[in-house]
């Protein structure tokens, strides 16, 4: 760790980071990176700690004096301001961010993504502390191209679908499509953070993740999460593969996504943390434009990769179609396509993603198989016996 320098060749000084939502998927990888590769201290705030337990115990771990866990619900805990004051930088990851919640629990979604984030922004601004706020690629909503006729040649023109931080509009569906409650709440908190920067000099960076995936994402229903829970697509499809049941393609699986390996994305976040002069005042897309697939293609690739890593042949009917109303309920809607423009992050931080979709699925599904296959088998044999 000795002699670490930033992108401008200046030595990097150890800092204290208040990380809110540190016990989640992204938080757990960021804590891991900060503990193993940097000298920084982390005040880890969350209501859960299972995903970072391996970093907190035993007390003999080499970084034991650099990470502290604070079990705090930021909705109603007066200790939050004190932690933000103690830190040089606050990173806010806390959110309800699973699409199954956006249309079924819109109030919780809006409160979590807007109201609960307000005091964090306020404390940072009032105490002159730097803030890295996690937003979402969903802020862009639908592409302009989605409104063109299906056979229009303009659909092939990148200016109709590539998403640019400083140029693309945010296009959401009508209010009754409650799917957009999340995107809308995230948009308003982005505008608030930006306005605090413009009017009160808050030093901020906004991150828009584009489908980061990898180990520890969400949960496997009935194993380490509720049986009826619906996680994001990686965990839904992993669950189907582990149980040898068909992968469910919502509305035909025609939507397109670009997936990025969590470890590539974390490199980008570390650059933001350690290069404030280059990151402050910016909004960054963080994704991998080279890893685009339809959800149907993702299902097919995951089926092949899982066969390879588990040694099990795939089932006869690997996918089935399901309507979004049946799968998510009333008020679901979808983003059609998400390709991040990379100009700003490239220019400011010189960062590029590296891992191909096949490779990231191979390491992630190896993890899923090792972590869950036995537990799923046992749970299924119990159900059959009953
Ligand atoms: P996650 O659900 O795994 O992590 C969020 C963490 O925040 C959880 O551990 C949760 O317990 C915690 N949290 C929520 N409310 C809290 C509260 N009131 N008090 C304390 N802790 C609370 O999600 P993630 O994938 O790690 O996402 C982190 C951030 O990145 C979120 O803001 C999300 O909107 C954003 N994001 C992620 C992705 C992605 O690809 N993973 C995509 C777009 C946006
Ligand atoms: N999806 C699907 N089957 C599933 C879970 C999700 O077809 O079992 C689709 C979902 O409708 C969306 C895409 O996969 O089009 C990605 O969903 P995810 O939950 O990861 O979140 P999003 O990218 O929409 O934020």
Q: What is the pLDDT of residues 316-373, one digit of tens each?
A: 999 999 999 999 999 999 999 999 999 999 999 999 999 999 999 999 999 999 999 9
- Indicate the top mutation candidate among 33, 95, 205, 287 to test ligand 1's pocket, ranked by most ligand atoms within 8 A of CB: 95
Distance between CA atoms of residues 183 and 209, nearest Å: 13
For residue 53, give the H/E element and its range: helix 53-56
Domain count, the chain: 1
Residue at token pair 């499509």:
177
Find out whether the beta carbon of 217 lies less than 6 Å from any atom of ligand 2. Answer: no
Distance between CA atoms of residues 53 and 187, nearest Å: 32
Q: Is 90 among the domain residues? A: no
Q: Do residues 45 and 80 make contact, with C-beta atoms less than 8 angstroms apart?
A: yes
Which ligand lies nearest the alpha carbon of 76? 1
Task: Show pLDDT as tens, one digit a residue, over the chain (386 residues).
Answer: 668 999 999 999 999 999 999 999 999 999 999 999 999 999 999 999 999 999 999 999 999 999 999 999 999 899 999 999 999 999 999 999 999 999 999 999 999 999 999 999 999 999 999 999 999 999 999 999 999 999 999 999 999 999 999 999 999 999 999 999 999 999 999 999 999 999 999 999 999 999 999 999 999 999 999 999 999 999 999 999 999 999 999 999 999 999 999 999 999 999 999 999 999 999 999 999 999 999 999 999 999 999 999 999 999 999 999 999 999 999 999 999 999 999 999 999 999 999 999 999 999 999 999 999 999 999 999 887 77
Q: Is 3 among the domain residues? A: no
Q: Do residues 351 and 282 make contact, with C-beta atoms less than 8 angstroms apart?
A: no
Q: Is 384 among the domain residues? A: no
Other CB atoms within 10 Å distance of the CB of residue 212: 24
- The DSSP bridge partners found for residue 284 are 207
Ligand 1 centroid distance, CA of 381 (Å):
33
Say which DSSP state 51 is in. G
- Indicate the top mutation candidate among 44, 55, 93 to test ligand 1's pocket, ranked by most ligand atoms within 8 A of CB: 93
Q: Is 12 among the domain residues? A: no
Distance between CA atoms of residues 382 and 375, nearest Å: 11
Q: What pLDDT shows up at residue 2?
A: 65
Measured from CB, residues less than 6 Å from any atom of ligand 1 are 21, 23-27, 46-48, 73-75, 93-95, 97, 112, 116, 134, 136-137, 209, 211-212
For residue 133, give the H/E element and its range: strand 130-134
Q: Count of residues for the chain? A: 386
Q: Is 68 among the domain residues? A: no
Q: Is 237 among the domain residues? A: yes
Ligand 2 centroid distance, CA of 70 (Å):
32
Ligand 2, atom 6, residue with closest C-alpha: 233
Atom of ligand 2 nearest to the CA of 138: 25
Distance between CA atoms of residues 263 and 360, nearest Å: 9
Which ligand lies nearest the alpha carbon of 294? 2
Atom of ligand 2 nearest to the CA of 253: 7
Q: What is the ipTM of this complex?
A: 0.99
The CATH code of the domain that includes 202 is 3.40.50.720
Ligand 1, atom 1, residue with closest C-alpha: 24
Is 332 one of the annotated active-site residues of the chain?
no
Looking from the CA of 154 toward its CB, the CA atoms found within 13 Å total 10
Q: What pLDDT shows up at residue 1?
A: 65
For residue 90, give the H/E element and its range: strand 89-92
Which ligand lies nearest the alpha carbon of 302? 2
Give, in order, the Cα–Cα distances in Å from 147 to each of 134, 184, 226, 252. Answer: 28, 20, 37, 19
Atom of ligand 2 nearest to the CA of 231: 19
Active-site option among 182, 306, 332, 372: 182
Residue at token pair 């992050």:
345
Distance between CA atoms of residues 380 and 386, nearest Å: 10
Q: Is 379 among the domain residues? A: no
Q: Is 60 among the domain residues? A: no
Q: What pLDDT shows up at residue 124?
A: 98
Other CB atoms within 10 Å distance of the CB of residue 345: 26
Find out whether the beta carbon of 250 lies less than 6 Å from any atom of ligand 2. Answer: yes
Task: Give the three-class secondary structure for 152.
Answer: coil
Domain range for 272: 95-374
Q: Do residues 102 and 178 make contact, with C-beta atoms less than 8 angstroms apart?
A: yes
DSSP per-residue codes, 35-78: HHH---EEEEEES--GGGHHHH-STTSTTGGGEEEEE--TTS-T
Give, in order, the Cα–Cα distances in Å from 344 to each of 107, 154, 166, 197, 383. Answer: 34, 25, 9, 18, 51
Distance between CA atoms of residues 180 and 250, nearest Å: 17
DSSP per-residue codes, 312-356: PPPPSS-EEEE-HHHHH-TT-------EE--HHHHHHH-------
Atom of ligand 2 nearest to the CA of 98: 19
Which ligand lies nearest the alpha carbon of 298? 2
Atom of ligand 2 nearest to the CA of 232: 19
């Amino acid at each position: 760790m000795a002699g670490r320098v930033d992108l401008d060749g200046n030595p990097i000084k150890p800092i204290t980071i208040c990380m809110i939502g540190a016990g989640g998927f992204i938080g757990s990888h960021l804590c891991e990176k900060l503990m193993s590769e940097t000298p920084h201290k982390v005040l880890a705030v969350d209501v859960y700690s299972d995903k970072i337990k391996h970093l907190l115990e035993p007390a003999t771990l080499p970084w034991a004096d650099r990470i502290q866990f604070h079990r705090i619900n930021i909705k109603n805990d007066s200790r939050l301001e004190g932690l933000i004051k103690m830190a040089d930088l606050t990173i806010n990851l806390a959110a309800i961010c699973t699409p199954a919640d956006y249309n079924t629990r819109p109030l919780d979604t809006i409160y979590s993504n807007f109201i609960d984030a307000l005091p964090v922004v306020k404390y940072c601004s009032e105490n002159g502390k730097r803030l890295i706020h996690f937003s979402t690629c969903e802020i862009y909503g639908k592409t302009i191209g989605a409104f063109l006729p299906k056979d229009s040649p303009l659909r092939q023109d990148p200016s109709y679908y590539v998403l640019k931080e400083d140029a693309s509009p945010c296009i959401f569906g009508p209010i009754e499509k409650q799917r957009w409650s999340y995107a809308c709440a995230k948009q308003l908190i982005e505008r608030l953070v930006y306005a605090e920067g413009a009017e009160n000099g808050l030093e901020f960076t906004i991150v828009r993740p584009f489908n980061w995936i990898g180990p520890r994402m969400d949960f496997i229903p009935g194993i380490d999460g509720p049986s009826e829970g619906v996680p994001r697509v990686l965990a839904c499809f992993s669950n189907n593969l582990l149980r040898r049941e068909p992968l469910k393609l919502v509305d035909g699986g025609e939507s397109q996504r670009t997936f990025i390996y969590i470890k590539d994305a974390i490199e980008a976040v570390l650059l933001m943390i350690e290069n404030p002069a280059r990151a402050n005042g910016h909004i960054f897309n963080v994704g991998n434009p080279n890893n685009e697939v339809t959800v149907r293609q993702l299902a097919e690739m995951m089926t092949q990769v899982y066969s390879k890593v588990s040694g099990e042949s795939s089932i006869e009917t690997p996918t089935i179609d399901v309507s979004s109303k049946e799968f998510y309920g009333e008020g679901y809607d979808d983003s059609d396509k998400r390709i991040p423009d990379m100009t700003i992050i490239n220019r400011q931080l010189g960062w590029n993603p590296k891992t191909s979709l096949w490779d990231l699925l191979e390491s992630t599904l190896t993890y899923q198989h090792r972590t869950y296959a036995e537990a799923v088998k046992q749970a299924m044999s119990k159900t059959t016996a009953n």
